Structure 1
Amino acid sequence: MKWFKSLSVAAMALAIVTTGVSSANAASSLSGSIVINGSSALLPLTLQAKSEFQKLNPKVKISASSAGSVTGPQAVRKGIAQIGACDWDATKDVPGFKAFEGQIATPVAVIPFAAIVNSDVKVNNLTTQQLKDIFSGKIKNWKDVGGDDADIVIVNRAFGSGTRVNFQLKALEGGSIVSTGSNVKTVKSSGEMKTNVETTSGAIGYEALAYVAGSKMKALSINGVAPTEANIINGKYKVWSYGYYMTKGQPTGVTKAFIDYIRSAKFQNGSLKKLKFIPLSAIK
């Protein structure tokens, strides 16, 4: 009898181990490839999710690049990407861009945006009107907004940038952005924006908060309200947007699995928050 009981216990243990191995194998049997293009604001999030997802699913290959939000749904429409990362819902018209028909917009994160300045700028807060006057080219010296007597250098994102779309609509209330002049630069990505503002004395630009932490630039308050997670959640700070993954129709297969992972509670409340994005569930 004791021998029989021992054998039964051993059999049960083996069954549990075997089941665990089978489950692990099943979990890692997912295979396929995903090409992601579009938003540079979302790129840090995409790269982190890619790294984690590929460790869990080593048979999956993911390539990610960024050339501005509008290139995301464009790449999906052309069939060269399965996911188009975009800082607006590209199934709807926004100023300057028509809706991309036949695509599905799945929100994956809340993106806080901020006006940013070089660390030598002695201004910490600007009003909406001051921002509008600076970016339209009306105000050209920091002394006119409480800073030192120094030229303002405007760093712009190129047309097609989701960061630009959101900043112009929400921080500038749709106001104009000057595009030419000796004190104006235009850059193609969030990374280039970060580099230019950090290295250019008197520079001002706009950026997703994911690029600001630990950098040689600072995010400004707008109308006395700082660009923090708490102020976005309580409705005081308005310069933010949902970040979307655009797909041709409803996502399926490995594409759906990756999007489900980035939307999972574990990722949203873990890596996503560490990167200074805000979980979808935080906005009611």
Structure 2
Amino acid sequence: MNGFPWESVIAVLGLAVPVIAALWEFFLAGRKRLGYRVQMDTSARDSATSSGPEAGVLQRMQWDGAHLRDPSVALLRIENVGWTPIVEEDYVAPANDAVGIRVAFPGRRVVGMVVTECSHTVLRDFFTPGTPGLGATDGVIRLPKVKLNRRAHYKVLAVLDRLPGFTETDFPDPQVTAGIVGGVRGGTIKRTEYYPFASRPVRWLLALLVLVSVAQSVSTFARSEDAMAAPLDCAEGTLHLTGSTAFKPVLESAAEQYTKTCPGARIPLSDSQFEGSVPGLDALATAGDKAKPKGDEGLGDRLTFSDGPKSPGRTRLLPRPVALSLFTLVVNKDTGVQDLSLKQVRDLYAGRITNWEQVNGEDLPVQLVGRHPGSGTRTTLQRQVLDDRPLPAVTTSDCRGMDMSRSNRCEVNKTQTLLNTVTSTPGALGYSEVGLAEAHKDVRQVRIDGYPATLEGADQGAYPFWETEIAYTYGEPPADSIAAGFLRYLANEVGKDIIRAEGHRPCSELDKPLVCRPSGS
């Protein structure tokens, strides 16, 4: 990751947060902590207007022979919320003072009080009548210095009445005063809340831990999307691709996906880069000779794709079989032909058949539309279909200006141009990579000896018009270069899916992957 190391910061936080939470809970918050909760504090001033014979019972309560003016009831819970016991010596009070906790109710006097609940029966011994430090005086409840084990508690129920001079509608909260030696935050007793899981600070820390985990997950997910194929395939830089027009659709799709996977990669594409296999090999050799890489090091920014092997003289160009590519003969639909024998195909290209009527087609002169020298598809046709026989001479340099009253032969520079020419020329015969021919709906593919252009037919040795698509590098590219990364990408699952989608078969799926030959060859 470039820039600020956010992932390292997140990882440190991921370790620090649980450590801080543990230190807080078990060491800081785990010291002596005395707390209280006001579980109930309610007035009975509206009881006289309520229905039912029991509604005014609190109003009828008396103290010193007089009815209570505005009675209320409060229930307090005193508890040890720390992790260590509290003993008498822990209370912040003089040794001769038996009172450990004082509870005042501003605006009210204490009519009566009682300890109603103890977490353990032994605590009741601290609240027997006459116990020093227990009682209520002048509106203040006094509680003795009670020993409390961890999580121990007791409750105090108090009946209160409004003081004559207090005129506010609502009563202030009870004021609880106590202190513990060595306690948290100076040992002052604190009002607590019910924590079904953990204390509030710990919950904040745990929430932070969740956020850290989410941040790590988001970071991991983002990196996974940035490297959806395989992170080791990614490389930075600009890659220049040249060569076969037949393999161009595969390279366009693969380049688009690779640059999405690897943001640091650039693969500019244009029609001028794909003029044919031989021009692509020439461009690669020229770039290598100009760069003059040292020793055995090769170019890491250039690849050329060729329909078939290079010529023997190019010793610095190293081959890597990529895919088995299928090719097909295509005709203008007006020819009336759908199937040709291998002998008929050879006779057509030898000039012995000049009218489609000779092969049970329409009465139209045969117009041979081919590719310029250097085309890998043209070389494949000659080697695989025509048994290395030479092609007839070109009769016109302008395919659009042919004399349609007789048979002709012309050449174009690109497969797409060839398909367009076959479509617009009555009696035309040409050849193309299968994927491009299928996408061009206005031409008709021709079977050879009854076999269509399928990978199964090539694999069984029945269909002859195929070739190995080979990637060439100038020398051995560095392992971390974009050329090496792109080659690995084509060999992994994403790359193989792209190759199959364009009608080719990855070499790794064939019986002879090192030479990329089908089993029937």
**TM-score, normalized by the shorter chain, greater than 0.5:** yes
CA distance in 1, matches of 2:375, 2:244: 7
Residue aligning to 1:257: 485
| One of 5, 12, 16 as aligned partner of 2:217 | 16
Give the TM-score normalised by the residue count of structure 1: 0.89
Query: How far 1:10 moved relative to its partner?
Result: 4.3
1:74-105 residue CA offsets vs partner (Å, 9 max, x unmatched): 11111177111111122xx4xxxx44111211
Of Structure 1 and Structure 2, which has the larger fraction of its residues in helix? Answer: 1
> Which amino acid is the alignment partner of residue 83 of structure 1?
L
| One of 304, 307, 330 as aligned partner of 1:84 | 304
CA distance in 1, matches of 2:222, 2:443: 49
1:227-264 residue CA offsets vs partner (Å, 9 max, x unmatched): 11221233321211111111012233111111211222
CA distance in 1, matches of 2:371, 2:482: 33
Structure 1 stretches of at least 4 aligned residues deviating more than 6 Å after TM superposition: none
Is 1:145–2:359 an aligned residue pair?
A: yes
Residue aligning to 1:59: 264
Residue aligning to 1:37: 242
| One of 47, 56, 61 as aligned partner of 2:252 | 47
> Which amino acid is the alignment partner of residue 89 of structure 1?
P
| One of 269, 276, 279 as aligned partner of 1:68 | 276
* Contact 1:71-1:84 at 8 Å conserved across structures: no
CA distance in 2, matches of 1:134, 1:192: 21
> Which amino acid is the alignment partner of residue 66 of structure 1?
F
Q: Which residues in structure 2 correspond to 1:151-162 (within 5 Å)?
A: 151-162=365-376
Task: Report how many aligned residue pairs link the two structures.
Answer: 277
Q: Secondary structure at the match of 1:63?
A: coil
| One of 486, 494, 504 as aligned partner of 1:266 | 494
Is 1:222–2:448 an aligned residue pair?
A: yes
Q: Secondary structure at the match of 2:463?
A: coil
Instruction: Tell me which of the two structures has the higher relative contact order, counting C-alpha pairs closer than 8 angstroms and 6 or more residues apart.
Output: 1
CA distance in 1, matches of 2:468, 2:275: 18
1:181-228 residue CA offsets vs partner (Å, 9 max, x unmatched): 251111111111111111111100111102111321121111111111
CA distance in 2, matches of 1:121, 1:12: 68
* Contact 1:37-1:72 at 8 Å conserved across structures: yes
Q: Secondary structure at the match of 1:78?
A: helix
Query: How far 1:13 moved relative to its partner?
Result: 3.4
* Contact 1:68-1:161 at 8 Å conserved across structures: yes
> Which amino acid is the alignment partner of residue 88 of structure 1?
G
* Contact 1:233-1:282 at 8 Å conserved across structures: no
Residue aligning to 2:434: 209
Residue aligning to 1:248: 474
> In terms of Rg, which structure is larger?
2
210-219 vs 58-67, which deviates more? 58-67
Residue aligning to 1:280: 507
CA distance in 1, matches of 2:353, 2:389: 14
Query: How far 1:122 moved relative to its partner?
Result: 1.0
CA distance in 2, matches of 1:56, 1:25: 5
Structure 1 22/203 Cα, relative in aligned 2: closer, same or farther at 3 Å? closer
> Which amino acid is the alignment partner of residue 390 of structure 2?
S
Q: Secondary structure at the match of 1:220?
A: strand
* Contact 1:76-1:247 at 8 Å conserved across structures: yes
Structure 2: unaligned runs, 5 residues or longer: 1-196, 289-300, 396-402, 512-521
* Contact 1:132-1:176 at 8 Å conserved across structures: no
* Contact 2:226-2:262 at 8 Å conserved across structures: no
* Contact 2:226-2:263 at 8 Å conserved across structures: no
Give the TM-score normalised by the residue count of structure 2: 0.50
CA distance in 2, matches of 1:75, 1:214: 29
